[in-house]
Amino acid sequence: MTTSSTNHTERLEALLKEGRVLKPSEEFRRQANAGDPAIYERAAKDPEAFWAEEAKRLDWFEPWKKVLEWTVPWAKWFTGGKLNAAYNCVDRHAASSRRNKAALIWEGEPGDSRVLTFGMLEREVNRCANALKSLGVRRGDRVAIYLGMTPELPIALLACAKIGAPHSVVFGGFSAESLRERINDAKAKVLITADGAWRRGSVVPLKASADLALEGTPTIEHVLVVERIGQAANAAMKPGRDVRWRELVDSSSPFCEPEPMDAEDMLYILYTSGTTGKPKGVVHTTAGYLVGVAATHHYIFDVKENDVYWCTADIGWVTGHSYIVYGPLANGTTSLMYEGSPDFPDRGRFWSIVEKYGVNILYTAPTAIRTFMRWGTDWPAKHDLSSLRVLGTVGEPINPEAWMWYNENIGRGRCPVVDTWWQTETGMILITPLPGLTATKPGSATKPFPGIAAEVLDEKGQPVGPGAGGYLTLTRPWPAMFRTIYGDPDRYVEQYWSSYSGKYFTGDGAKVDEDGYFWLLGRVDDVMNVAGHRISTYEVESALVDHPFVAEAAVIGRKDDVKGQAIAAFVTLKESSPSADTLKQELKQHVAQKIGPIARPDDIYFTSELPKTRSAKIMRRLLRDIAEGRVLGDTTTLADPAVISKLKRQYEEKGNSE
Ligand code: ATP
Ligand code: MG
């Protein structure tokens, strides 16, 4: 990214403006799961020994023979070992003193809740596993899952794992077409879905979308249908193909032997969010994945035996797979899952859930935090949040002001904030603070997890100096890394392993500061080139969010005859902000002051919503399409197409810019 020395200096200046450092508390460190800083050195010295030690968290039917076999870019971890992921997440806890401990706490849309102990979860998983067997699912067959956030979702995942059938979860907000594409790519044999899902009091007709998708899915033999809605869903059942969960699962036997899986057997396929383009079917295998998510969950969230841990993601994304289901349950943790949205029935919903269950660890996303900022501090202030001990964030670079807001208004200054960088492909968190050990800097994901090696490189593959931007790469294999793209090993090699020999190319831009801290700058494609200066959209967005009236911003570079690219900013204001018009100049000035005149936005557009993926990430590529007058690219992963059409109209009228 940055090559010339003038750019170097400029970037360094921008970086140094974010100078806040929050020291870890000694009191926290003393009780922390990762309280001993020697963990970094130990893991760096002999990463394989480190991961072998972590692998003891799991129960193995047969021990592994070799920790790692690595022939770039093909990794095998814990070869020769045999184990079962569901056994590790459920059965072994159900057979211990944790039998009657809550495994899952489910908070449904208002009025509904359900607690499943490890003993209860074991029976439900086994019933579902036996039901799948009766539908002809065998070890190795793929099962597609298209459900809302109800307990049947983790039950279905674990049931698949129990019998060795890889699952492929498709987020319940996806359209029929997206579902069909993913079912066909994975050649799934059975689909598990529901008559519908609740969203802000109204019904999302999952079964109707599924039926539409199934018009073109030759491999699906049966559909297992959860009744979440009942009569009101008015869902049609196709005789011979569709079976009701309540009839089949509830009447199946609650006993099922776990399938002993090879360490490298596929656990699941999951399609990436599609922020940058066509989703890829990421393949995760059994042992390395489970070791990676269990270890990271233990250290990064500092989870204790009696904690209530809440990750607010949807299980349709990797965050839900790794940190609602597999990581926490492998560790015997009580994992909370929530069906609804943050503003239903009111904007205090998250905080009332924290209060209701005494949540100790909260893991959410920058997009949610920026939304809460927009809504103001009164909502969290109304609730008792004193149970919280650790706060996490994931999904996008977090703007320093959003980080501070989270720290102050939710953590009340007491809770370490862990900004965790990772991807669907990485399976587990890779860059993160360890609470109690790592001094944090708002906006920085800090350092690679023990045993992980990351480097920021320039175009030629040379490490960049402190403060300069470059490409984030990973230089050593890690246990939860994906093994391939399903059905497309060439794409695996080309997209991820061809830019720098022997190194994994993440597609993200980053810089490392003089303390060795990593600052994620967003996707490489999102970096702008303004009059020869490389400027990251994230930095301009963060400067905008730093302004007291701004809640959220999306910045793009649009073609400009003179400068190559000009900066356009789409800005969402806090609800308490005064009228917008006088603000444009002020915001431009604010950015120029924070970063430098070169980063001053050329256009500012005010909007009440930004276009986001269904996983709630800002989708800049569509804004670029609008700004450059192109036909919009792939919009299937967009959460709300109305937002982008409105912006397109607004942009075309131009009157709103200056
Ligand atoms: P696609 O690969 O299909 O375009 P996606 O990259 O959005 O979609 P995910 O795997 O869900 O799909 O997201 C991973 C990406 O999210 C990372 O590559 C990075 O850009 C961003 N990300 C995640 N966590 C962080 C974080 N803590 N800080 C900065 N960026 C993050
Ligand atoms: Mg990606």
Specify the pLDDT at position 639.
86
Model confidence at 5: pLDDT above 50: no
The dihedral of CA 613, 617, 621, 625: what is its sign? positive
The whole-angstrom separation of Cα 503 and Cα 476 is 7
Q: What percent of the chain has pLDDT over 90?
A: 81
Q: What is the mean pLDDT of residues 347-372?
A: 97
Rg of the chain in Å (alpha carbons):
24
Instruction: Answer with the residue of higher pLDDT: 46 or 527.
Output: 46
HSE value, Cβ hemisphere, 13 Å, CA-based, for 453:
14
For the beta carbon of residue 282, count every other beta carbon within 10 angstroms. Answer: 23
In this prediction, residue 17 has a pLDDT band, given cuts at 50, 70 and 90, of: low
**CB count, 10 Å around CB of 386?**
11
Which ligand is nearest to the Cα of residue 395, counting in written order?
A: 1
Residue nearest to atom 15 of ligand 1 (CA): 423
Measured distance CA(537)–CA(521) in Å, rounded:
7
Q: What is the pLDDT of residues 608-655, one digit of tens each?
A: 999 998 888 999 999 999 888 888 888 888 888 899 999 888 888 864
For β-strands 504-512 and 469-474, DSSP reports them as antiparallel
Q: How far is ligand 2, taken at its centre, from the CA of residue 8, in Å?
A: 27
Listing DSSP states for 431-466 in one string gives B---TTT--B-TT--BSBPTT--EEEE-TTSPBPPT
Nearest CA to ligand 1 atom 29: 397
Name which residue leads in pLDDT, 637 or 432. 432
For ligand 1, the distance from its centroid to the CA atom of residue 115, given in whole angstroms, is: 31
Residue 623 C-alpha to ligand 1 middle, in angstroms?
Answer: 18
* Mean pLDDT, residues 83-91: 99
Token pair recorded at residue 181: 């594409």
Confidence (pLDDT) at 503: 97
d(CA 449, CA 298): 12
Ligand 1: centre distance to CA 580 (Å): 31
Q: pLDDT digits over 110-163, tens only?
A: 779 999 999 999 999 999 999 999 999 999 999 999 999 999 999 999 999 999
Give distance in angstroms: CA of 422 to centre of ligand 2. 9
298-325: pLDDT as tens digits: 999 999 999 999 999 999 999 999 999 9
Residue among 91, 130, 87, 94 at smallest CA distance from 256: 130
Query: What is the chain's mean pLDDT, rounded?
Result: 93
Using the atom order of ligand 1, give the atom closest to the CA of residue 274.
Answer: 3
Reported in sequence order, the residue ranges of 108-218 that DSSP labels E, i.e. its strands, are 113-117, 143-146, 167-169, 190-194, 197-199, 202-204
Cα of 425 from ligand 2 centre, angstroms: 8
Choose the weakest-confidence range: 296-300, 443-447, 509-513, 531-535: 531-535
Question: Which amino acids bring their CB within 6 angstroms of ligand 1?
Answer: 272-276, 279, 317-318, 394-397, 419-424, 445, 506-508, 520, 523, 615, 617
- The residue whose CA has the least distance to atom 21 of ligand 1 is 396
Cβ count within 10 A of residue 240 = 8
DSSP strands (E only) in 475-532 = 484-485, 504-512, 518-523, 527-530
Task: Express as a percent the part of the chain with pLDDT over 70.
Answer: 96
Question: For residue 333, which of 301, 378, 285 has the smallest C-alpha distance?
Answer: 301
Measure CA 618 to chain center: 13
CA-wise closest residue to 453 among 429, 427, 421, 476: 476
Cβ atoms 478, 491 nearer than 8 A: no
The ligand 1 atom at the shortest distance from the C-alpha of residue 637 is 3
Query: Would you call 219 helix, strand, or coil by DSSP?
Result: coil
Residue with tokens 């193995």: 60
Burial of 260 (0-12, 13-18, 19+ CB in 10 A): middle
Test site for ligand 1: of 278, 396, 406, 504, most ligand atoms within 8 A of the Cβ: 396
Q: Enter the tokens of residue 45.
A: 């010295």
Contact criterion met (CB below 8 Å) for 315 and 149: yes
d(CA 555, CA 563): 16
3-state secondary structure of 417: strand
pLDDT digits (tens, 9 = 90+) for 92-118: 999 999 999 999 999 998 779 999 999
136: left (phi over 0), alpha (psi -120 to 50) or beta: left
Q: Is 564 helix (H, G, I), strand (E, B) or coil?
A: strand
Counting ligands in written order, the one closest to the CA of 402 is 1
Residue nearest to atom 5 of ligand 1 (CA): 273
Report the alpha-carbon distance of residue 82 to residue 263 in Å, rounded: 6
* Ligand 1 pocket, mutate which of 171, 363, 423 (most atoms under 8 A from CB): 423
**What spacing in Å lies between the alpha carbon of 522 and ligand 1's midpoint?**
8
Q: How far is the CA of 650 from the centre of ligand 2 (A)?
A: 29
